[in-house]
Amino acid sequence: MSCPGARVSWRLQITDQRAERRETDRVVALIRDSLVRSFPGCRWEGEDASAPLILIELHRFSSELQGNVWDAAAEWSVSVQGPNGQSLTEFRAEAEVSRPNYRGSNNELEAMRQAFDQVIRRTIAGLVNVSVPG
């Protein structure tokens, strides 16, 4: 898959804005690694670089057992800024999944994996359509 906006160099910043910040480092690394793998031709620059910026603010990444069903949710906002800081696009990516509590399966993990996969696909789809001027 090509890089967002047909630009090779990008910066990526992910911040955890959840009320309960459990396993922040692990969740942020999961998001970062998934996006980097999804755009293998891109060069990911350091924060001080002048490349365009993809900023992800994590709002929800959780699961809860409700009776005999695991409800999982992943939600974040994505904003993309050009090299000069101008706003290029903003969107929300979210997914909610309910999974019965089957015996012999890690249903919480499976529900979270499904929600994460959906929200990552939505994020990638939004980034593919970014247009970077100049």
Q: What is the mean pLDDT of residues 81-105?
A: 92
Burial of 80 per CB tally in 10 Å (0-12, 13-18, 19+): buried
Residue 41 placed within a domain? yes
Residue 133 placed within a domain? no
> Residue 1 pLDDT more than 70?
no
Q: How many domains does the chain have?
A: 1
CATH of residue 30's domain is 3.40.50.10610
Residue 134 placed within a domain? no
Please tell me the pTM assigned to this model: 0.90
Range of the domain at 11: 4-128
Residue 49 placed within a domain? yes
Residue 66 placed within a domain? yes
Query: For 53-95, what is the HEC assignment?
Result: EEEEEEEEEEEEEECCEEEEEEEEEEEEECCCCCEEEEEEEEE
Question: Can you tell me which residue has the tokens 């015996």?
Answer: 103
> Residue 110 pLDDT more than 70?
yes
CB 95 within 8 Å of CB 113: no
Q: Which residue has the higher pLDDT, 128 or 20?
A: 128
Residue 62 placed within a domain? yes
Q: What is the mean pLDDT of residues 43-55?
A: 88
What tens digit of pLDDT does each residue of 18-34 get? 878 778 889 999 999 99
